[in-house]
Structure 1
Amino acid sequence: MDWNHNQAAAIARIRATLSPDELASAEKVKRINDRYLGLTRDTAIQLAFKNLVASVAWHDAADENRPGKRRILAICGESGAGKTRAIMEHISLLSAMGRYVDEDGNEINPVLIYEPRSPCTPKLLAIEGLRKLGVPVRNNIRENEAWDAFRTALKAHKVIFVVIDEAQHAVVAANAVEQQKIADAFKGLVQMPDWPVRLVLAGVPPLAEFLSKHEQLYTRRTAIRLEKLEGETGLATIDEILSKIAAHGEVSIGVEIDDKFKKRLSHAGAGNFGTIVQMIRGAVELAVLDGSSEVTETHFKNMYLAYSGCLEEENVFTHPNWHELEPLKAFMRVNDETPRKHRARGQKKIKFGDRP
């Protein structure tokens, strides 16, 4: 079955139901979300990716086991910090990481990107990579066999750059022995004398803790932490991205952009760049879909209602004591936190299917 044809047909049918004005608004919303918003931190990320590429260019099989070479790039930050979007953007800017046709006429993608399932084990981490490459894996494969097969498959598919997104899934539930196995596996990937592999790891803070524990990875990695937007610098950044996103949507900001408003916005997005960007885009999208030429406080209020599921009177953009609200818990209600009742001593446990 041609899934691409089916997808195109399904999308075409939806588009046929929209008016020209609705299609124009949809295209504008797409353009708003397609644009990448670079920050000062992107200079460091760009340099780190260029160094990974350069390290492949001077690959020396006889010298590959020497420590101190930065073959691993780790990008850590809270959920919503913009890690994945930044990685995808910088990969797209490097021709060395783009698809090409080899001397045999085969289309090659030198970049493998995958996300391990949670919870994950050292063996499953290798198996997920094999499956992403389209390599069949037998059910009873052993851990060492899985990693051997993964290394072989990378060479066979001419993959040089391996990107593991949400890499904390592999280590957050792992014990000390399993974490050591994963560290050894990462080291083995980037030290193959007959094939240069460079590893990019993205994840939330448990990944940073894992990388800090293992000296064998410390001497082989470049680490970049995507910090929260805090303080005067954070507020200045919020001011900048507000203006940029409004320009992308071809609308003006009809709200007084003072420090109080920017602090409300930062609080709503937990200080995370990616989350704040999505919230601003959400407000601009509402203005575009309304046919409005400016983004108002109502658009921000309605955006937060939709994003958080909060009560009307607990909206960060209208509440007088907004700093006391917890955006991550805005969807919860009082009865959602009812404590579990413990069985009295001697009381039988209720089995599945029985009435209490």
Structure 2
Amino acid sequence: MNEFVIPAIRDTASGTVDRVFPLERAERLKNEFARVFSHHLGCLESGSRFETESILVTGQSGSGKTKEIEELLKRFNASNIPLPTGQPARFAECILTGTQGWKDLGRNSMWAIGFPLDGKARLTQVEIWERVVTEAKLAGVVGIHYDEAQHIFRKKNDTDRLAILDSFKTLMKSHDWPLILIFSGVPELDGYLREEPQLYRLINRIKFNDISLPDDFDTVHEIVSSYALTSRLELDDKISTEDFYHRLVAAGAFRWGLIIKLTIGAIGMARVRNTGTLHVDHFIDAWVSKTQTNSAATPFTHSRFETIYRKDHPFVEALTG
């Protein structure tokens, strides 16, 4: 046995990493994506020039945006929908960072499509985006998902932000091969995209809302139960209570993605201890392991959990001493 491998943790990760709980928002996202793509496909089949639509998905960090979109695009790419060019349609994915300008954006878009651009190539903005469009058409790429898109706009001056926005607009309005864009990020991203009215009018917006209690108690219970069942664990009676689920939601800052991660962490602890049952103590252990908080001051144990763990600061207590 290798000293650096904990089999129970490894097996828990292996059994849950690809799992996506079917929240209502996933259906909304799929329906909107299907509508946008169907319109896009019809326009391609007509042979006429058109400008395509795009989708903006916003939500707090840890809300699960990336996971939902990745799962959607994975299914889309596997469906092999035929394009008028004879190729199967596919979507590319690109993560943005704050150090990128429009040239980096172009190069990273090329990498996402599958055609790396030489970093020494001296191309104008127009030439880079023409290359992106050409290679996308050759590869059957109908769109690109730009994840964490707010980062590319932060700390940029007006000129640089508008150059990036103009680049996105160019892709959507290409006469030869317009590309559907999916932008995902935190709520501030909406404000950046509004700065380019011609781009913004082509964007359809989907917001991933936080957990709302008491309305979502049943869904939280279903998440914990289903992940435990997948890992062949029973639920202790103390878990199946509104008090516990309220504490779990507070611990996850009311964000769906974070409560799922906390649940997976607790399941890992339960499997390490080989208990066969998921207990509140396993959530406490997972929290302490992550935050190094005293076990008496976790969201699962402290009487003032609602005030010391705030929605705007996941995993950071507001205790002052």
Q: TM-score, normalised by structure 1?
A: 0.77
CA contact (8 A) 2:54 2:181 kept: yes
* 2:260 paired with 1:274: no
Structure 1 residue 42 corresponds to structure 2 residue 26: yes
- Partner-residue secondary structure (3-state), 1:131: helix
Q: CA–CA distance in 2 between the matches of 1:218 and 1:228? A: 24
Q: Counterpart of 2:110 in structure 1: which amino acid?
A: L
Letter paired with 2:37: V
Partners of 1:311 and 1:25 lie apart in 2 by 22
CA distance in 2 between counterparts of 1:137 and 1:129 reads 13
Counterparts in 2 of 1:28 and 1:124: CA distance versus 1, 3 Å: closer
User: CA offset at residue 182 of structure 1?
Assistant: 2.3
- Conservation of the 8 A alpha-carbon contact between 1:168 and 1:204: yes
Q: Which deviates further from its counterpart, 166-175 or 309-318? A: 309-318
Q: 1:192 to 1:142 in 2, by over 3 A?
A: closer
Quickly say closer, same or farther: Cα 1:25–1:265, change in 2 above 3 A: closer
Once the two structures are TM-superposed, the CA of residue 168 in structure 1 deviates from its matched residue by: 0.8
CA contact (8 A) 2:97 2:149 kept: no
CA contact (8 A) 2:56 2:183 kept: yes
Residues 189 and 197, structure 1, Cα contact 8 Å, conserved in 2? yes
Please say if residues 171 and 206 of structure 1, whose CA atoms lie closer than 8 Å, have aligned partners that are also in contact: no
- The reply on whether 1:188 has 2:170 as its aligned counterpart is yes
**Residues 332 and 235 of structure 1: is their aligned pair in 2 closer, same or farther, counting only changes over 3 Å?**
closer
Shift of 1:28: 5.1
How much does 1:249 deviate? 1.2
In the TM superposition, 1:135-154 aligns within 5 A as 135-138=117-120, 140-154=122-136
| Unaligned runs of at least 5 residues, structure 2 | none
String of CA shifts for 1:146-173, please: whole Å, max 9, x gaps: 3333233323333212111111112222
Residue of structure 2 equivalent to 1:354: none
The letter for the 2-side match of 1:130 is M
Q: Does structure 2 conserve the Cα–Cα contact (< 8 Å) formed by 1:229 and 1:237?
A: no
Alignment of 1:1-356 (within 5 A): 26-27=10-11, 29-59=13-43, 60-65=46-51, 71-94=53-76, 98=80, 110-132=90-112, 133=114, 134-138=116-120, 140-254=122-236, 255-326=238-309, 328=314, 330=316
Quote how far apart the aligned CAs of 1:274 are. Answer: 0.5
- 1:331 positional shift: 8.2
| Cα distance change of structure 1 residues 95 and 28 upon mapping to structure 2, 3 Å threshold | same
Contact (CA 8 Å) 2:101, 2:152: kept in 1 or not?
yes
Q: TM-score scaled to structure 2, two decimals?
A: 0.85
Structure 1 vs Structure 2: percent identity of aligned residues?
21
The DSSP-based 3-state class of the residue aligned with 2:215 is: helix
CA RMSD for the aligned pairs? 3.2
Residue 92 of structure 1 deviates from its aligned partner by: 2.3
Query: Any idea what the Cα deviations from partners look like across 1:103-159, whole Å, max 9, x if unmatched?
Result: 99xx97732111122233222211222234322232654444333332333233332
- Aligned equivalents of 1:96 and 1:289: distance in 2? 36
Say if 2:88 and 2:140, in contact at 8 Å, map to a contact too. Answer: yes
Q: Structure 1 residues 125 and 333 mapped into 2: Cα distance closer, same or farther (>3 Å)? A: farther
- Does structure 2 retain, via aligned residues, the 8 Å contact 1:311–1:330? no
Rg comparison, structure with higher value: 1
What is the CA–CA distance in structure 1 between the aligned matches of 2:315 and 2:255, rounded to whole Å?
16
Distance 1:284 1:155, change over 3 A: same
Code of the aligned partner of 2:316 = A
| Distance of aligned partners of 1:51 and 1:108 in 2 relative to their CA distance in 1, 3 Å threshold | closer
Name the amino acid aligned to 1:43: E
Offset of residue 208 of structure 1: 1.7
Three-state SS of the structure 1 residue aligned to 2:144 is: strand
Change (3 A) 1:123 1:232: same
Contact 2:58 2:208 in 1 (8 A): yes
Q: Aligned partners of 1:234 and 1:228: how far apart in 2?
A: 10
Decide whether the 8 Å contact of 1:98 with 1:110 is kept in 2. yes
The change in CA–CA distance for 1:189 and 1:61 in structure 2 (over 3 A counts) is: farther
What runs of 5+ residues in structure 1 fail to find an aligned partner? 1-12, 336-356
